[in-house]
Amino acid sequence: MFTGAIYIHMDGIDELWEKVKDRAEVCFPVQNFDYGMREFGIYDNNGYLLQFGQQISA
């Protein structure tokens, strides 16, 4: 059994968020974190956490 999360580092985080936010079970909405990433998390159809993140421009 798999535990944990799958983290996907990418560009275009806000565009992806708009596409999936109403189609998936949201763990946490898109937001900026103090460590310099903009991220959101959703659960896939098997209940696994998928986290997507983009580095925040300085």
Give me 18's structure tokens.
């708009």
pTM for this model (two decimals): 0.88
Residues ≥6 apart with Cβ < 8 Å to 33: 39
Contact in structure between 7 and 23 (CB atoms under 8 Å): no
Per-residue pLDDT of the chain (58 residues; tens, 9 = 90+): 667 789 999 999 999 999 999 999 999 999 999 999 999 999 998 889 999 999 998 6
